[in-house]
């Protein structure tokens, strides 16, 4: 695809819109007219006394066009919206597809909804989503409900409350849809990396706790993710949890989550360690209850193993358990997905997160035949929400990923009183979140509400080899004025 931008430079926004309608298409953006290419998309802004915008799509001899006027004194932000709206309307007419999230391509639509609610009021905010951003009434209502739930959960946070994330980027094997920087623990290299990684991670956790407390901050929620942290031995897991509690003693009795995403990594000894160390929340992820779908996804476990892991966790005393399901996995159909959801609902777990499959380039499934059925995923998600509500679950956090078939969302659902505070802190971007481990990103909130990021090295081998640099980066945070949580929320990005 050739994307011609004439009279403006809104490349990021217009490219994202084109990807929604032409997923997988390679986009070449130029800032002039072009007559070449089998698929051309043109977006124009003509300034002057009679300012106007237009958009056209030319494909295989077929042309679709839209145009509109621009009022004098239009702000840059509104001009951007008008340019994108013309392009969106043109793409809808050309393809016959109407994405449920309309023009929105950002990761956090609830941040925009919350900002509009504050500025305009709830009714006007919803009208803005529907009329000016082309979002469907159903997704608009979802965004409003989640924004309210996020606000309610975040209201317990004090100004000096921060979050903590600990990365364990190792898994028993790599799922075919996964693009995370995770190492299969079955390889020799990963096994060699792991002991030094745990040593370094515990040092970084200790240093991070010292920095947080010297800044006057207290941890309100801690999350150990990956990867699959429960791929560690019970002794290794105990070391990490002990280091975390020693560094952040205020977390004793607080919200502590451990990702046990692969049920085949759980056993009684690990469950006992986590219970004794005060872990309050587990995530045990079936993704599907179809063994055929699990096999195609490379999950390496059966549906029965998920049930056994869940029963063992409940027997060990864990009453706050999240379970993930993925809509759109290869080989799955809407009726199969709903069967998986019904089996999850029958367990009466406290949290259920419904993900839309998003295939990044680094995943094995990316670009393969039959991957990424947007219509099927949309049908699955649409059918799941009424079923969840009927059983007493409410949506409490939500985010979106690029390259999701159907331009869909991931939504966390919970029973009353079981929302995950850490998830809300991450999505709202209203809090400082200290992160430790390979691939971890620390988010720092300054007293003026501005968010900055400090990146750790991406891969475990880099993390080990350059651990001195990691500590230097952490040391550089000492003395920086920080705020734990801002009631106003974080910065608002583009839609």
Mean per-residue pLDDT, 249-272? 96
Q: Are 280 and 241 in contact (CB under 8 A)?
A: no
Question: CATH 3.80.30.20: which residues of the chain?
Answer: 156-476
Q: What is the CATH number of domain 1-98?
A: 3.40.50
Would you say residue 298 has pLDDT above 90?
Answer: no
For residue range 395-439, list pLDDT tens digits in order.
999 999 866 777 899 999 999 999 999 999 999 999 999 999 999
Question: CATH 3.40.50: which residues of the chain?
Answer: 1-98
- Higher pLDDT among residues 366 and 450, named by residue: 450
5-42 as b/e: b if 16+ CB within 10 A: beebebeebbbbbbbbbbeeeebebeeeeeeeeeebbb
Is residue 362 very low, low, confident or very high in pLDDT (cuts 50, 70, 90)? very low
Would you say residue 370 has pLDDT above 50?
Answer: no
- Asked whether the CA dihedral 264, 268, 269, 273 is positive or negative, the reply is positive
Q: Give the pTM.
A: 0.92
For the chain, the average pLDDT equals 92
Is residue 28 very low, low, confident or very high in pLDDT (cuts 50, 70, 90)? very high
Q: What is the pLDDT of residue 369?
A: 43
Would you say residue 175 has pLDDT above 60?
Answer: no
Q: What is the pLDDT of residue 492?
A: 52
Q: What is the pLDDT of residue 159?
A: 96
Q: What is the pLDDT of residue 144?
A: 98
Is residue 321 very low, low, confident or very high in pLDDT (cuts 50, 70, 90)? very high
Would you say residue 228 has pLDDT above 90?
Answer: yes
Would you say residue 364 has pLDDT above 90?
Answer: no
Q: What is the pLDDT of residue 24?
A: 83
Count the helix, strand and coil residues of the chain and give each as a percent rounded to the nearest 5. 40, 20, 40
Q: What is the pLDDT of residue 134?
A: 98
Q: Calculate the dihedral angle through the C-alpha atoms of 68, 74, 77, 81, rounding to the nearest 10 degrees.
A: -10
- Which of 185, 181, 204 shows the shortest CA–CA distance to 194? 185
Rounded percentage of the chain residues whose pLDDT exceeds 90: 85
For residue range 77-102, list pLDDT tens digits in order.
999 999 999 999 999 999 999 999 99
Q: What is the pLDDT of residue 261?
A: 86
Cα(293)–Cα(93) distance, integer angstroms: 35
Rounded percentage of the chain residues whose pLDDT exceeds 70: 92
For residue range 429-472, list pLDDT tens digits in order.
999 999 999 999 999 999 999 999 999 999 999 999 999 999 99
Peptide bond before residue 227 is cis, with ω within 30 degrees of 0? yes
- Considering the segment(s) 156-476 as one domain, its CATH architecture is Alpha-Beta Horseshoe (3.80)
Would you say residue 272 has pLDDT above 50?
Answer: yes
Would you say residue 152 has pLDDT above 70?
Answer: yes
Q: What is the pLDDT of residue 91?
A: 98
Mean per-residue pLDDT, 357-362? 66
Distances (CA, A) of 64 to 1, 56, 88, 95, 139: 15, 5, 12, 10, 27
């Amino acid at each position: 695809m050739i994307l011609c931008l004439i009279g403006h430079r809104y490349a990021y926004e217009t490219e994202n819109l084109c990807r929604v309608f032409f997923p997988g298409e390679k986009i070449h953006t130029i800032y002039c007219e072009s007559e070449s290419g089998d698929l051309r998309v043109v977006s124009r802004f003509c300034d002057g006394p009679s300012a106007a915008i237009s958009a056209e799509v030319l494909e295989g001899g077929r042309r679709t066009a839209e145009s509109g006027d621009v009022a004098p004194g239009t702000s840059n932000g509104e001009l951007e919206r008008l340019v994108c709206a013309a392009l969106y309307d043109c793409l809808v007419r050309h393809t016959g597809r109407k994405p449920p999230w309309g023009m929105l391509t950002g990761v956090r639509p609830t941040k925009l909804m919350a900002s509009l609610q504050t500025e305009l009021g709830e009714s006007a905010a919803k009208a803005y989503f529907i009329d000016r951003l082309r979002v469907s009434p159903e997704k608009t209502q979802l965004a409003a409900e989640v924004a309210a739930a996020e606000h309610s959960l975040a209201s317990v946070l004090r100004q000096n409350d921060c979050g903590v994330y600990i990365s364990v980027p190792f898994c028993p094997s790599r799922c075919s849809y996964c693009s995370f920087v995770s190492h299969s623990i079955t390889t020799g290299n990963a096994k060699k990396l792991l002991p030094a990684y745990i040593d370094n991670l515990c040092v970084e956790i200790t240093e991070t706790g010292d920095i947080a407390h010297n800044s006057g901050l207290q941890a309100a929620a801690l999350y150990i993710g990956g990867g699959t942290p429960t791929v560690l031995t019970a002794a290794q897991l105990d070391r990490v949890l002990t280091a975390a509690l020693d560094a952040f003693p205020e977390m004793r009795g607080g919200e502590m989550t451990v990702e046990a995403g692969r049920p085949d990594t759980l056993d009684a000894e690990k469950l006992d360690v986590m219970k004794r160390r005060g872990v309050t929340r587990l995530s045990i992820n079936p993704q599907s209850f179809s063994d055929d779908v699990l096999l195609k996804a490379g999950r390496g476990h059966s549906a029965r193993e998920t049930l056994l892991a869940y029963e063992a966790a409940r027997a060990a005393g864990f009453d706050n358990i999240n379970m993930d399901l993925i809509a759109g996995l290869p080989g799955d159909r809407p009726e199969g997905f709903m069967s998986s959801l019904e089996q999850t609902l029958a367990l009466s777990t406290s949290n259920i997160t419904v993900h839309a499959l998003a295939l990044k380039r680094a995943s094995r499934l990316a670009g393969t035949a039959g991957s990424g059925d947007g219509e099927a995923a949309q049908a699955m998600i649409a059918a799941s929400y009424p079923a969840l509500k009927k059983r007493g679950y409410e949506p409490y956090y939500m985010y979106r990923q690029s390259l999701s078939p159907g331009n869909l969302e991931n939504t966390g659902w919970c029973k009353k009183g079981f929302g995950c505070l850490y998830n809300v802190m991450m999505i709202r971007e209203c809090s400082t979140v200290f992160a430790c481990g390979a691939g971890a990103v620390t988010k720092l909130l300054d007293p003026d509400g501005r968010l900055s990021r400090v990146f750790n090295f991406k891969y475990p081998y880099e993390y080990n080899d350059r651990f001195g640099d990691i500590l230097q980066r952490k040391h550089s945070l000492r003395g920086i004025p920080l705020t734990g949580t801002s009631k106003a929320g974080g910065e608002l990005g583009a839609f």
